[in-house]
Structure 1
Amino acid sequence: MGNSFIKSLGEKYLMKNYIRQPMALVKGEGAYVWDADGNRYLDFVSGIAVNNLGHCHPEVVEACCEQIGKLMHCSNLYWNEPQVELAQLLIENSHFDRVFFCNSGAEANEGAFKLARRYFQVVKGSRRYKIVTMYKSFHGRTLATAAATGQEKVHTGFDPLPPGFVHVPFNDVQALEKAVDDETCAVMLEPVQGEGGVYAAEAGYLKEVERICREKGILLMLDEIQCGMGRTGNLFAYEHYGIKPHVVTLAKALGGGLPLGAVLAVEEVSEALGPGSHGSTFGGNPVSCAAGAAVMAALLENGLINNATQMGSYLFEKLEGLKRKYGFIMDIRGLGLLLGMELSIDGGKIVDLCREKGLLINCASQKVLRFLPPLNITREHVDEAVEILDKVMGSLSEEGEDEIG
């Protein structure tokens, strides 16, 4: 089946909630993917920060195939070895004490919300329930995670959303201090906002957030679903800022392409979830956790986290070079290999033209191009991507900004 046929079937049978590119991907290897017509693309989307090791990493494939042949599912009525192995890897490489596994980022954030409320209401004997989140944040598409998300477009048509979420501007300490009251149980934020336009926490901001949480006796929870797992040049993005949150949520790259989410918590907070208080049928699935353990091992042993720092700096420099060349590029920002390019024009046409020339990127907002390549890319991959971008932007510049704005 070719691109057109697969697309026609999808348009006939699938709900219309995604805006899809006009091709069907059938194969991936390393930093490249192929569509059903045989075209090859350099992938700087990585499944939206999922394929941090590239596509079909041999160690992850081997771990999955081996586990599938032994045990695919057993439920959490029983222990399973891959789940325990992955838990050990996560806890021993962080300051946390316990982990809860689920299937996705939205589920991880839902779990964190429940954990925070239950910690205060059951462990502390308090009725605190409000959670402060940030404008331009993205925490998921369930009702509660949509309510937590600081973007009106995610809320539209789903009223009434669950109450208890308060939004403040990111990187604004005074606004946060004013928002926290006697009913607040936690602050949740992304160290680097991905979907909101690629905004990293400013120097000193997270230290101030930590101080506010400590002084008010509330929890600091970080959503690292997109920016975690080595993408920013540390295993966890919060490590750049010298803080120790009470809770961190993970997903996306954790499963290496399989559905897997996690809530990591310090001991005292984790005690809020006793038997029967929370659960997941597929959370901690043996195959997903085998993949996750292989991902963790590769990140820790193969120098990929350091490569994210080096290649992130190299890509940043190359994008800055384009900024100096083209007047419609307003800003380059981000951390590690989570980078954004803000434009004065609509980025959609650039995404389309790059795809036609063999490069996959996407827009984090209408005017922000987002770059999420695998962590094991080389300088040659960066050069290839920037060369395509340069050609596309050069052609648009010749047309005139008014025609592409």
Structure 2
Amino acid sequence: MNAKELRKYFPILHQEVNGHQLVYLDNGATSQKPIQVIEAMDKYYKEYNSNVHRGVHTLGSLATDGYEGAREKVRAFINAREAAEVVFTRGTTSAVNTVAYGFARAFLKPGDEIVTTVAEHHSNFIPWQQAAKVTGATFKFIPLAEDGTVTLDAVRDTITDNTKIVAIHHISNVLGDTTPIKEIAQIAHQHGAILFVDGAQGAPHKKIDVQDLDCDFYAFSSHKMGGPTGVGVLYGKREVLERTEPMEFGGEMIDFVELYDSTWKELPWKFEGGTPIIAGAIGLGAAIDFLEEIGMDNIERHEKKLVAYAMEQMREIEGMTIYGPQQDRSSLITFNLAGVHPHDLSTVLDSYGIAVRAGHHCAQPLMRWLNVTATARASFYMYNTEEEVDAFVAGLKKTKEYFGNVFS
């Protein structure tokens, strides 16, 4: 099924914005939702809305089956060993904080090291920064190559026997590069460190096998992969999840409650206090069904072809700067056009119905490394087409012409 055929499943794409056919190129921020996901969540609310795990009545059983069935779909999607290694969270940010609070803060001490890069999204940066401040651990950075990529030589030179946690992105939300996770896991484990992977831009765009990657934690968000907002996943190897303390306490996550002490449920429920995100998990399960039907390898292949097609045309525009590796990029292109502020560029493109992101992309340390205050970003997904790339490039040329005339 090609991109044009896929578009029929996405109701939001069939509209005009500012008098033009919508060209949605902000998928790195959030993707659009296929009708199958919308209908799965609608069915839950219409037909078997109930809480999970608590009641033995029919609706409660159906809701529990839907919720735990979604967990099994996630397990298979990332090839975790068991469903107990799949924790539902509010998203990638929530997953990072769960580990930074429940694992890092519990075990780190002065002299230990947390290793990351300046290319991380704030969600995979600030929690570790704060954990280092609280515990007295050292916060270290793997130097980036000239094009912003992470090389294994730099990883080897940075990780030491004092390193306890390595936290790194799978795919950069700014530079579009893919980090060699499997090799980094091997290096980290040789030094006795655990590896946390921010997969927010990885899981939606490429086939993930956490056992093959051998990462200790892997986190991602539903809303970037065709699922609903407000739900995400924290994968963790059983042995590290068992050492991680919950950061939210209350109903559902307890085993026994005494007056002066309490014990927690077994994995994964000790991390899912309160009423969980039932409809969200069911929606994520439907999104995974949709992605699996298309095939993650097919999605990755289509996006890389589209990015290469776009970059070829963008390079021909005078004053264009494209950040990150110039070959073998994932699903996004971050750029600046000389003489045009990214916010102005985004505003003009929006007037033609073209949606792109502008700003620091929740990556201010990386913006400083690039020596810019902001950039524009076009990010693609399975339903984007070459015709949309053509409209985007035409919009860039019109933007350049407009500002050239204004300031001439």
Whether TM exceeds 0.5 here: the answer is: yes
Please name the residue that 1:166 is paired with: 139
Please name the residue that 2:219 is paired with: 249
1:45 alignment partner, one of 20, 23, 26: 26
3-state SS, counterpart of residue 334 of structure 2: strand
- Number of equivalences: 345
3-state SS, counterpart of residue 115 of structure 2: strand
Query: Structure 1, residues 118-170: CA drift from partner, whole Å, max 9, x if none?
Result: 8968xxxx999643221131142xxx952436xxxxx9xxx977754614134
Cα distance in 1 between the residues matched to 2:111 and 2:54: 32
Please name the residue that 1:320 is paired with: 312
Please name the residue that 1:100 is paired with: 87
Tell me whether 163-172 or 314-323 shows the greater mean CA deviation: 163-172
Q: Is the Cα contact below 8 Å between 1:119 and 1:269 reproduced in 2?
A: no
> Do the aligned partners of residues 129 and 38 (structure 1) sit closer, same or farther apart at CA in structure 2, a change above 3 Å counting?
farther
- CA shift, 1:380, in A, is 2.6
For 1:5-404, list aligned pairs within 5 A: 29-31=11-13, 41-46=22-27, 48-51=28-31, 54-55=32-33, 57-72=34-49, 74=51, 80-97=64-81, 98-114=85-101, 116-117=103-104, 130-140=113-123, 146-148=126-128, 164=137, 166-168=139-141, 169-170=143-144, 171=150, 173=152, 176-177=155-156, 179-194=158-173, 197-201=174-178, 205-225=180-200, 227-231=201-205, 234-236=206-208, 243-251=213-221, 252-253=223-224, 256-273=227-244, 276=264, 278-281=270-273, 284-303=276-295, 306-331=298-323, 333=325, 335-345=329-339, 346-363=341-358, 365=360, 366-397=373-404
Runs of 5+ unmatched residues, structure 1: 1-27, 150-154
Q: Is the Cα contact below 8 Å between 2:165 and 2:193 reproduced in 1?
A: yes
Q: Give the residue type in structure 2 aligned to 1:50.
A: T
- CA shift, 1:248, in A, is 0.4
Superposition CA RMSD, Å: 3.7
3-state SS, counterpart of residue 271 of structure 1: helix
Runs of 5+ unmatched residues, structure 2: 1-9, 56-60, 145-149, 246-262, 361-372
Tell me whether 67-76 or 89-98 shows the greater mean CA deviation: 67-76
3-state SS, counterpart of residue 214 of structure 2: coil
Identical-pair percentage: 14
> Do the aligned partners of residues 295 and 173 (structure 1) sit closer, same or farther apart at CA in structure 2, a change above 3 Å counting?
same
Q: Give the residue type in structure 1 aligned to 2:13.
A: A
3-state SS, counterpart of residue 279 of structure 2: helix
Please name the residue that 1:8 is paired with: none
Tell me whether 208-217 or 276-285 shows the greater mean CA deviation: 276-285
Tell me whether 278-287 or 317-326 shows the greater mean CA deviation: 278-287
3-state SS, counterpart of residue 319 of structure 2: coil
> Do the aligned partners of residues 276 and 76 (structure 1) sit closer, same or farther apart at CA in structure 2, a change above 3 Å counting?
farther
- CA shift, 1:91, in A, is 1.6
Cα distance in 2 between the residues matched to 1:359 and 1:134: 32
Q: Is the Cα contact below 8 Å between 2:357 and 2:377 reproduced in 1?
A: yes
Query: Structure 1, residues 216-239: CA drift from partner, whole Å, max 9, x if none?
Result: 1211111012x13332xx133989
Q: Is the Cα contact below 8 Å between 2:114 and 2:138 reproduced in 1?
A: yes
Tell me whether 78-87 or 290-299 shows the greater mean CA deviation: 78-87
Q: Is the Cα contact below 8 Å between 2:165 and 2:194 reproduced in 1?
A: yes
Q: Give the residue type in structure 1 aligned to 2:188.
A: C
Tell me whether 326-335 or 310-319 shows the greater mean CA deviation: 326-335
TM-score, normalised by the number of residues in structure 1: 0.71
Q: Is the Cα contact below 8 Å between 1:136 and 1:193 reproduced in 2?
A: yes
> Do the aligned partners of residues 283 and 127 (structure 1) sit closer, same or farther apart at CA in structure 2, a change above 3 Å counting?
farther
Query: Structure 1, residues 18-43: CA drift from partner, whole Å, max 9, x if none?
Result: xxxxxxxxxx83435667x8876322
Cα distance in 2 between the residues matched to 1:77 and 1:130: 42
Query: Structure 1, residues 227-274: CA drift from partner, whole Å, max 9, x if none?
Result: 13332xx133989xx733121001132571331011112233233257
Cα distance in 2 between the residues matched to 1:165 and 1:106: 22
Cα distance in 1 between the residues matched to 2:96 and 2:323: 30
Q: Give the residue type in structure 1 aligned to 2:169.
A: E
Q: Is the Cα contact below 8 Å between 2:78 and 2:209 reproduced in 1?
A: no
> Do the aligned partners of residues 176 and 379 (structure 1) sit closer, same or farther apart at CA in structure 2, a change above 3 Å counting?
closer
Cα distance in 2 between the residues matched to 1:337 and 1:330: 14
> Do the aligned partners of residues 353 and 341 (structure 1) sit closer, same or farther apart at CA in structure 2, a change above 3 Å counting?
same
- CA shift, 1:95, in A, is 3.6
Cα distance in 2 between the residues matched to 1:328 and 1:385: 14
Q: Is the Cα contact below 8 Å between 1:33 and 1:42 reproduced in 2?
A: no
Q: Give the residue type in structure 2 aligned to 1:184.
A: T
> Do the aligned partners of residues 165 and 110 (structure 1) sit closer, same or farther apart at CA in structure 2, a change above 3 Å counting?
farther
Tell me whether 320-329 or 257-266 shows the greater mean CA deviation: 320-329
